[in-house]
Structure 1
Amino acid sequence: MPRTTLDIAALAHDLRLAVMRFSRRLRNQRVDTSVTLTHLSALSTLKQHGPMSPGELAGHERVQPPSMTRVVVALEGMGLLTRSPHPTDGRQVVIDLTPEAVALLSAEAQAREAWLTGELAGLTDEERTILREASTIMEKLAGR
């Protein structure tokens, strides 16, 4: 293999491990562990895209509708989702966030960002500049 290919493969390996470890540390900065990461993902999608049917939410989350039905039932039982009739299809419902869900998502984000802010404060200006550039590149990779 050419040296460049080996360097790229080594970078891919190192970056994958670093991202996994970093993600794990960030996920550990939880406010409410009774809500699963799957639940938080569904709530975040609703916050980002607005009210939708459970089937649409399943599509956004890339899971099968029966799996999303279980998530929706659990979140509704926790008082984090509301159901209302679908405006054009009487067979469906539209789910939306409750004020409690909005507050939970805000608290989760604040806890993680507070932890990360503290960690970033311990780095040099040069390291923070490199991470700023890396975050732009990672967004580019994530968008492909």
Structure 2
Amino acid sequence: MSEQPPPYAALRPAAVSSLAGELRLACMRISRRVRYESTDIIAPHQFSAMCRLEDAPGTPGELAEIERVSAPSMTRTINRLVELGYVERAPGPKDKRQIILTLTPEARRVLKEIRRKRDAWMSVRVSHLDPEEQAVLQRATAILTRVAAE
């Protein structure tokens, strides 16, 4: 009995490079489209800042560093989130000059609503695919999760 070849031959380096570029663009387009799905509630950069505070309070400097924006830009974002009632400022426990930012219960409700809207947008698109395409996406999701973790 002869040895069975692998079901898929390895791609040549040029084909891998082409696939990587196409995949990157597709992921960027989907990410951008989903990100703008809920701009009627808050702007994408505000959502991102709120997500950073979801697990633990933080300082404006920490947020700016994580979000890779300037301190003045983050200050404007924080000021708007405070105006909207989504973020509260408090003095630091050891250094009263330090500002600690926390989410309000309303902010947590808004995050949940935005995620629901984004998931609904994606669910509609996936539901229009045929079962074979849905199965491919199911496998691709596991692979992409692995790629993102590396």
Aligned to 1:38: 45
Mind listing any 5+ residue stretches in structure 2 that lack a counterpart?
Answer: 1-10
Aligned to 1:51: 57
| Cα drift, residue 132 of structure 1 | 1.8
Instruction: Identify if the C-alpha distance between structure 1 residues 63 and 25 changes in structure 2 by more than 3 Å, giving closer, same or farther.
Output: closer
Aligned to 1:96: 102
Aligned to 1:127: 133
| Cα drift, residue 121 of structure 1 | 1.7
Mind listing any 5+ residue stretches in structure 1 that lack a counterpart?
Answer: none
CA contact (8 A) 2:36 2:44 kept: no
Q: Percent identity, aligned pairs only?
A: 38
- The letter for the 1-side match of 2:42 is V
Aligned to 1:114: 120
* Aligned pairs for 1:8-87 within 5 A: 8-30=16-38, 32-33=39-40, 35-47=42-54, 49-87=55-93
| Cα drift, residue 140 of structure 1 | 2.3
- The letter for the 2-side match of 1:70 is R
Aligned to 2:15: 7
Q: Tell me the SS of whatever aligns to 2:57.
A: coil
| Cα drift, residue 119 of structure 1 | 1.7
Give TM-score scaled by structure 1 length. 0.86
CA distance in 2, matches of 1:133, 1:40: 29
Decide which structure has the larger Cα Rg and report it: 2
CA distance in 1, matches of 2:101, 2:35: 26
- The letter for the 2-side match of 1:21 is R
CA contact (8 A) 2:49 2:67 kept: yes
CA distance in 2, matches of 1:34, 1:105: 10
Count matched residues: 140
CA distance in 1, matches of 2:22, 2:88: 43
Aligned to 1:138: 144
CA RMSD in angstroms comes to 1.8
Q: Tell me the SS of whatever aligns to 2:37.
A: coil
Higher relative contact order (Cα pairs below 8 Å, separated by 6+ residues): 1
| Cα drift, residue 66 of structure 1 | 2.5
CA distance in 2, matches of 1:35, 1:113: 16
| Cα drift, residue 100 of structure 1 | 1.7
